[in-house]
Amino acid sequence: MSKFNETLLAYLALISGLAISGVAVYYSVVGLTAIFSAATIPIIIMGVALEIGKLVATVWLKQNWLIAPRYIKIYLMTAILLLMVITSMGIFGFLSKAHSDQNLVSSEVLTQLAIYEEKIKTTKESIESRRREIKQMDEAVDQIMARSQDEKGAEKSVALRKSQQRDRTRISQEIEAEQKRLSELNNEAAPIQTQVRKVEAEVGPLKYIAAFVYGKTDQTVLEKSVTWVIILLIVVFDPLAIVLLLASQITFQNLRFTSAEVNGLQIEEPKSEKTVSKIEEPENKDTNNQNLESIDPWSEFSKKKVNLNKFRTGGDFLIDYFVNMVQSGQMNIEQVPLDSQDKVKLRLNEK
């Protein structure tokens, strides 16, 4: 991978990690303020400060892992893990509250719809009851006609129908009024039914998940599905931000390592995998190879170009150089590159 691509990838990892961390702290603070609603401003200040401290502690621990005292490393690691758990708890609270608010809205809508449905049902039953009354009156007239075969029976049935006329008119008016009320109730319930369909559409994906995992879609199963979805989100949320931040720092350190000058050693990328840059021979080989224990035994080689792959793997050439520089007092062990410190310490202990 070229240096430009590595640099671009490092910045992308850094920006992504910071963006995810910013979103995580926002969700966490909102979730914590929902739990501690009486102290909103202090919770916001505390959450932001702790998130910044967590990121700084992560980077510092990465950069100073080899020289940091053990008790500092243990404490910082514990603090970072606990802060990640706290952030995850806040995110869980935020997402749970969002789901609860959605359920609250859907419950209110369903309650209103249930009231209208009950009114509509009662109105329909009232209309049916009055229609049965009219039907009973018609049956009474028909029975008189059936019992009589002469004109007197017809006259009786006509007289009965006339006596029922007032009741028939009243019942017809009541039916008409009930039908008008039924139409009004249906018109009022239509917007609520539209809201219910929208809520069902929003919960639809969750129902598919519940049906796929549990094989059913009742309310208890839906709540379990929501809980598992939230857990999956928080497992990859804040930890991903920390890992991306560490990955960016590792890449930046590698870029600095490959391009920096280590006490005059100029390091360059090989032109190709098959090309190995060579160490230019000094004019006087004997002078430069006489005394490895001198103050700067590699002074003639210090400005020569060293193969990058050998430098990365901590070859004996550089290890000897660092050992002699430390022994001569021109370098401290802390100034030795991190990738070579362990080998230099081991070589010094052997001597």
Which tens digit of pLDDT belongs to each residue from 14-58?
Answer: 899 899 988 988 888 888 887 787 888 888 899 889 989 999 999
Instruction: State the alpha helices, DSSP H only, in the chain.
Output: 3-35, 40-63, 70-147, 151-163, 165-214, 219-259, 285-289, 308-312, 316-327, 338-350
Phi, psi angles (nearest 5°) of residue 297: -65, -15
Tokens standing for 127? 């209309």
Residue 329 Rama label (left phi>0; alpha psi -120 to 50; beta): left
Residue 314: is its pLDDT beyond 60? no
Return mean pLDDT, the chain: 75
Task: Please tell me the pTM assigned to this model.
Answer: 0.50
Which pLDDT score is estimated for 271? 43
Answer positive or negative: Cα dihedral of 332, 336, 340, 342. positive
In the block, residue with structure tokens 């032109």: 271
Q: Report the alpha-carbon angle 102-43-234, nearest 5.
A: 50
pLDDT in tens, 146-174: 776 666 667 777 777 788 788 888 888 88
| Contact in structure between 116 and 101 (CB atoms under 8 Å) | no
Which pLDDT score is estimated for 82? 93
CA distance 16 to 240: 9
HSE-CB for 118 with a 13 A CA cutoff: 6
Tokens standing for 290? 């006489």
Mean pLDDT of 279-306: 41
22 vs 282, more confident: 22
Helix (H, G, I), strand (E, B) or coil at 249: helix
Determine whether 112 is exposed, middle or buried from the number of CB atoms within 10 Å of its CB (0-12, 13-18, 19+).
Answer: middle
Which pLDDT score is estimated for 251? 85
257 vs 345, more confident: 345
In the block, residue with structure tokens 């280590």: 262
Which pLDDT score is estimated for 7? 85
pLDDT in tens, 85-124: 988 888 888 888 877 776 665 667 777 888 888 888 888 8
What band does 79 get if pLDDT is binned at 50, 70 and 90? very high
What band does 75 get if pLDDT is binned at 50, 70 and 90? very high
Helix (H, G, I), strand (E, B) or coil at 266: strand
- Tell how far CA 207 is from the center of its chain: 20
pLDDT in tens, 183-203: 888 888 888 778 777 766 666
% pLDDT > 70, the chain:
73
